Amino acid sequence: GCHHLLDSQTTSAVSASTPSPGVVPETQSSRPTDHAFSSSPERAAGRVQLIVDEPGSGIRSYTVRRSQSSSTFSLQGWRSASLLLLAVCVAAANGATSLVCVGIGSVILVAIMVHRAFSVREESLLIMEGIGLQLCTVYASGREITQFIDTAVISEVVIAEAVRVDRCFYYLACLVHGKHPRMPPQIIVPFKHLLPPLLQLEQIYCGTREVLWSEHDESLHHEGPSVQPLRPSAR
């Protein structure tokens, strides 16, 4: 069935909601959200939006896009710009020439432009029944990177929990085995840059399994979590 898998040091499962087409806004829920697992609650408050599209039978697309109200300049970028601005002030206070100050200011401007150019604007996951998955990342500069995963090499699709020093967050993961026995398995992470919140991940997770493997689970409407071990699929 379509069970929601979480993998940290232990693995648990939570029930997921039925996907619906269109733009999916953030909603309040009694289930765990990024407010409880991340030090960046603004991410769960509308930093990204999820767009669902079904262009044909057996095809479904999930696009995660930065909301217009969110800034593409991250906290790390502001820190770097602040340090450079501080350097300009220190140079001016120490009697540096205007040429030096202009040079430092130019470095700040270039750094901001480079950061914005390499920031990710949207990420998408195209699921094609019997064919596979296509991942696409679009940068602010217009550059696109695509990756295709054949259905035959996909062992499992899960939602996992990652723990960092400053925060915890959830992400979608595709467990991929090699075409040859000696090839080691890999983990491919869709939406690894924008990291949509848990409620959106649940919808993407269930929709992906539904299209890939025709999984329809009546327990999606069941209240409360269920616990299952993370085990490899026999596909």
Pairwise CA distance, residues 193 & 145, whole Å: 13
Q: What is the mean pLDDT of residues 38-49?
A: 54
Which residues partner with 163 through β-bridges? 168
Q: Which two tokens stand for residue 90?
A: 């220190």
∠ Cα 42 142 62 (to 5°):
55
The angle formed by the CA atoms of residues 83, 165 and 3, to the nearest 5 degrees, is 130
What is the rounded distance in angstroms from the CA atom of residue 46 to the CA atom of residue 42?
Answer: 7
pLDDT at residue 3, rounded to an integer: 46
Reading the block at residue 139, the tokens are 């940068």
pLDDT, tens digit (0-9, with 9 covering 90-100), for 76-129:
556 666 766 777 677 666 666 666 666 767 777 777 777 777 788 899 999 999
Q: Left (φ > 0), alpha (ψ -120 to 50) or beta: where does 130 sit?
A: left
| β-pairing verdict for 144-150 and 22-24 | unpaired
**Mean pLDDT score, 220-235:** 40
**DSSP H helical ranges for 94-171:** 98-117
Tokens 């699929």 belong to 233
Q: What average pLDDT score do residues 196-201 get?
A: 93
Q: Which one-letter DSSP state was computed for residue 55? A: E
Amino acid at the residue 133: L
Across the chain, mean pLDDT equals: 72
Secondary structure (3-state) at 151:
helix
What is the domain partition of the chain in residue ranges? 4-70+119-221, 75-117
Residues 68-76, mean pLDDT to the nearest whole number: 54
Tokens 């409407």 locate to: 221
Q: Which of the pair, 220 or 87, is modelled with greater confidence?
A: 87
Q: Which residue has the higher pLDDT, 229 or 212?
A: 212
- pLDDT of 13 reads 33
Q: Can you give the length of the chain in residues? A: 235
Tokens of 77: 């970028």
Partner residues linked to 146 by β-bridges: 136
